[in-house]
Amino acid sequence: MKSTVKKLMPGGYGFIDGEERDFFFHASELKGVAIEDLFEGQVVEFEPSENEKGLNATNITLEGTE
């Protein structure tokens, strides 16, 4: 799935824009990029998942890198 980083938060987590609900992510799910190098509005690719707390993004890479 492809979308944009919506919000970066202190503590190593953030949110990726979803059509209806946003996807939470933790820095540990970033592959090949450090959270310090991300910016809001940046296009990323990720695998969506869901748990009891809501939607999550896993295996996050920058668009075009894998």
Residue range 1-57, pLDDT digits in tens: 999 999 999 999 999 999 899 999 999 999 999 999 999 999 999 999 999 999 999
Please check the confidence at residue 66 and state whether its pLDDT lies above 80.
no
Collect all residues with Cβ–Cβ distance below 8 Å to 48 and sequence separation of at least 6: 1, 23, 55, 56, 57, 58
Count how many Cα atoms sit within 13 Å of the Cα of residue 22 in the half-sphere of its side chain: 12
Q: Determine the Cα–Cα distance for residues 20 and 9; give it in Å rounded to an integer.
A: 20
Collect all residues with Cβ–Cβ distance below 8 Å to 50 and sequence separation of at least 6: 56
Pick the CATH number of 2-62 from 2.40.50.220, 2.40.50.140, 2.130.10.10, 3.90.70.10: 2.40.50.140
Residue with tokens 């668009």, as numbered in its chain: 63
